[in-house]
Structure 1
């Protein structure tokens, strides 16, 4: 579908968008093939300076790793091929504007929140948000107001937030500036975003969405609806996660009605390098073209492979795959079937253990493991051979560890935070390290989380409870990869210094 967009508000400058074009990728390729004597950065000077990189990356990649120039546009204030590529991306995602982001969706989330949240503004958000949101609140001084997402006891995972809880929170807090939502969660659960947006419009509350794991949503009818299509104000989208671009290639999408796009651009430029990677930006251009051209077919294949995997895996003793079953749960309106949440509780092995076994013994790399589950992403690049290898590996594990099934099951739970200081106040307060076991009722001064997915168990400004300590100890005993704390052994923990 063609579209017409105005460049820089000048009615005389219009371009007709052609979804079959790849303006940035094709121009970068042509530029790399020109015979040019380069006296600019980067210092490797195409493929002339660092042979080991040529050998590992290839000469063409090295030639395409360039810096901004008048001929190649500039991401800080694009008005040429980058602008054209961003407009095509906005068109594909049904948004008014799209900004290229080269430091991952973390940077997109930081820019999104910085552009609309002032110091002490309240932000309504689910507790199972990524650490980047807490860090964005440190940057801007916003005040989090948490909603607990619904929790699946059987799976041991947080789902998404219910419309009822959003309404209750909005009625209770009449000074909420914005709501921050996940569409989807790491495990593919989507709330009733359309109804939540309607509730927020009635209260003049901005709707910001972390759509890191939903880059593929607009390109197949069997997938959940995208945030932009439903009318959210802004969405941060990891084009690299499920859209096919290179790692760290992301986008910030904007619908203009309630948003100052100049402020958004200013926030991005505060956070993004002036030497943004052309390889990453061009990969967004190429991924967008592929999704427009081949997304329907590739995603149909991915969905069929996921459904095939589910049917086979559910026949393995001790294994249970859950996708559409959780649609009956509160807080779940849609589910992304390309995300296989494989519950291994019946094996009486933790997901962390199964994750390690699959990689170390079978050469199968999963997205994550938790106490009860492993998560496999079925994407546009997944093959039936990959799926069959996963099925066979889990079948062998099930038989090999069958004697463990009578042992006790670990208990996982949802933790409700007690916020005493906003994240920025906690970040700039004086701190001290104390014995981990003696930290109950102290205010935490650091984040502790399992990565992936990077959801904080405790964040700066929150009270450390016995429940939190017990859960962290359970994760330590389960060999979870805990991160972000100062003391990697967790013998001590960083807390706010008391007067």
Structure 2
């Protein structure tokens, strides 16, 4: 066994993982435990643009037909396969909407690929802060009122990009936001990476595609039974040119898009369509029943919000009043039950369920959480999670709702910068994003100026920040010396 580990360390570790672990994390096929995925010969699907097999970037045959069926399944105007994940869709969408110098509204909880797009484009971000729930210590929805106020301050923006649902499953008022933007002649891009399953059943929230968004990006591999990097770029309206989207996609995605990924997306869509009633019986109704029973946990707490505001497939367990942090909860789940969470943050654990789950897998998760919860009633430890939430609340209170940077991410990326001591940074421009991590809440984005409040936060919470150099005695931050001209 040791010899195999040495010769094939990655392959061997993955095979062992798949044989022993119970994944409550992406990808959505849960190690092939969906339908008959394990029976598929993936090597037979791994071909190229051979005669009769069409071409993604000039689709007029089988790929066009497959994308059209996907379009109908999701209710889109047009749908494009992505084989470099949602990142390719985000880059394509922003590069299609914006030119160098254009202003665009950016939710501060967006994926880091958004800033990669801004660097490539040279666009000007106007940052908007999503609503924050101080009781939960959780970033939630983008408010329609915030969009309206941002449009008053910056009437020349091309549009906005928001995240809905969030990583934790919180959904924004996309319909209201789309109406506000469209009335002003602006576009809406929605990063719906974690919402590809919304079309499966009405128990899930309504997709942004049906609520007025112009471009919607979904990661099929996150919550649907497809392979990693499988994703979709949907046109919700005809506002943007399909031809221009394809032309831009060719710039940011591989010139050899994987037929294996495209074929498994086609396969998964058809399988789900054909088995919707079974999925509801075997997965969705047991999921709802499990959630109802988990409401009775004593020390642990299950996040539960209104139907259209929340994705019930995400099992978010708070440890805030349990006497432990979620890292220990995650450790308990894996070591005792072989259950692996999607993410563990100081005060909550994210457990992802998908259409690959069923009564058996959900029962295992429920039993584990109930058993751990009963044990926690006997534990008396400092409230680590409570302290963390208190720190997070103080930081959020200091962040502006709407903010424009001094320089664009492109000017910073290609400019000259250096690491400087914290006291030198006041009034300087951040050359590297600084965030409170976990969960990854930005304090300063690259291009924003250091103010007194930033220095106070950095000094107080240095040991919880990413994007700084901290030795325990001295703090250094990366600042812009000379921007791109």
Task: Sort the Cα spacing of 1:289 and 1:388 in 2 relative to 1 into closer, same or farther, 3 A.
Answer: same
1:462 aligned to 2:445? no
SS at match of 1:189: coil
Once structures 1 and 2 are overlaid, which stretch shifts more, 394-403 or 206-215? 394-403
Q: How far 1:392 sits from its partner (Å)?
A: 3.1
2:25 paired residue number: none
1:351 aligned to 2:326? yes
Q: How far 1:439 sits from its partner (Å)?
A: 4.9
2:41 paired residue number: 60
2:3 paired residue number: none
SS at match of 1:317: coil
Task: Sort the Cα spacing of 1:492 and 1:207 in 2 relative to 1 into closer, same or farther, 3 A.
Answer: same
Q: How far 1:252 sits from its partner (Å)?
A: 0.5
What 5-or-longer segments of structure 1 have no aligned partner? Answer: 1-49, 328-332, 477-481
Q: How far 1:469 sits from its partner (Å)?
A: 2.0
Q: How far 1:177 sits from its partner (Å)?
A: 0.7
Task: Sort the Cα spacing of 1:300 and 1:155 in 2 relative to 1 into closer, same or farther, 3 A.
Answer: farther
Task: Sort the Cα spacing of 1:493 and 1:351 in 2 relative to 1 into closer, same or farther, 3 A.
Answer: farther
The within-5 A match list for 1:200-239 is: 200-239=181-220
Q: Distance in 1 between matches of 2:360 and 2:481?
A: 55
Q: CA-to-partner distance for each residue in 1:280-334, whole Å, 9 max, x for gaps? A: 1111111211232223542564333333333333333311112225x7xxxxx52
Once structures 1 and 2 are overlaid, which stretch shifts more, 405-414 or 99-108? 405-414
Task: Sort the Cα spacing of 1:261 and 1:315 in 2 relative to 1 into closer, same or farther, 3 A.
Answer: same
1:473 paired residue number: 462
1:416 paired residue number: 399
2:288 paired residue number: 307
- When normalised by structure 1's length, the TM-score is 0.79
The within-5 A match list for 1:20-59 is: none
1:88 to 69, 94, 97: 69
The within-5 A match list for 1:284-433 is: 284-299=265-280, 301-324=282-305, 334-401=309-376, 402-405=378-381, 407=383, 409-410=386-387, 411=390, 412-413=392-393, 414=396, 416=399, 419-433=405-419
SS at match of 1:223: coil
SS at match of 2:193: coil
1:157 aligned to 2:138? yes
Task: Sort the Cα spacing of 1:454 and 1:288 in 2 relative to 1 into closer, same or farther, 3 A.
Answer: farther
SS at match of 1:258: coil
1:119 aligned to 2:95? no
Are the equivalent residues in 2 in contact too, given 1:178–1:205 (CA < 8 A)? Answer: yes
Q: How far 1:159 sits from its partner (Å)?
A: 0.6
Q: How far 1:250 sits from its partner (Å)?
A: 0.2
Once structures 1 and 2 are overlaid, which stretch shifts more, 159-168 or 207-216? 159-168
Task: Sort the Cα spacing of 1:394 and 1:421 in 2 relative to 1 into closer, same or farther, 3 A.
Answer: same
Task: Sort the Cα spacing of 1:189 and 1:119 in 2 relative to 1 into closer, same or farther, 3 A.
Answer: same
Q: Distance in 1 between matches of 2:203 and 2:88?
A: 29
1:260 aligned to 2:241? yes
2:51 to 70, 84, 87: 70
Task: Sort the Cα spacing of 1:279 and 1:226 in 2 relative to 1 into closer, same or farther, 3 A.
Answer: same
Task: Sort the Cα spacing of 1:102 and 1:455 in 2 relative to 1 into closer, same or farther, 3 A.
Answer: farther
Task: Sort the Cα spacing of 1:247 and 1:110 in 2 relative to 1 into closer, same or farther, 3 A.
Answer: same
Q: CA-to-partner distance for each residue in 1:19-59, whole Å, 9 max, x for gaps? A: xxxxxxxxxxxxxxxxxxxxxxxxxxxxxxx9x99x98999
Q: Distance in 1 between matches of 2:39 and 2:74?
A: 32
The within-5 A match list for 1:92-171 is: 92-171=73-152
Are the equivalent residues in 2 in contact too, given 1:156–1:371 (CA < 8 A)? Answer: no
1:447 aligned to 2:433? yes
Once structures 1 and 2 are overlaid, which stretch shifts more, 376-385 or 459-468? 459-468
What 5-or-longer segments of structure 2 have no aligned partner? Answer: 1-7, 16-37
Q: Distance in 2 between matches of 1:146 and 1:363?
A: 41
Q: How far 1:423 sits from its partner (Å)?
A: 1.3
1:495 to 474, 479, 482: 479
SS at match of 1:289: helix
Q: Distance in 2 between matches of 1:489 and 1:443?
A: 22
Task: Sort the Cα spacing of 1:450 and 1:78 in 2 relative to 1 into closer, same or farther, 3 A.
Answer: farther
